[in-house]
Amino acid sequence: MNARAYFLKGCPREIGLEMGRMLGEKLERNIEIYQRKRPIPPEVLDMEMLQNEAIGVLRRMPRRFQEELEGLTEGANLQLQRVAEWIAVEECLQSGCSGFLINWV
């Protein structure tokens, strides 16, 4: 596995924009793979719930995360709905799993 670390500067939106530009089309492919492979078994992901609840999940996040994801969306030329669905997967699993975010200061 080749891991890379990037140190980006700017406000959350600027950081998201730069990440989105770097990822480009790879982000869409990764979202699709994550939604297909993350849930084990795959039928535990309620796709209707995911599509209906994704924007709400994003809007409940702290503002700085929303701004970064909005920048990421724009930089990768994706729809906000698509990125919101990516981050909302964990909340739409019927398996009871959970996810968390860490903000390093």
Please say whether the beta carbons of 66 and 59 come within 8 A: yes
State how far the Cα of 21 lies from the Cα of 74, in Å rounded to an integer: 8
Segment 50-96, tens digit of pLDDT: 889 899 999 999 999 999 999 999 999 999 999 999 988 877 765 55
pTM of the full predicted structure? 0.77
When pLDDT is averaged across residues 42-49 and rounded to a whole number, the result is 76
Asked if pLDDT for residue 11 goes beyond 50, the answer is yes
Asked if pLDDT for residue 46 goes beyond 60, the answer is yes
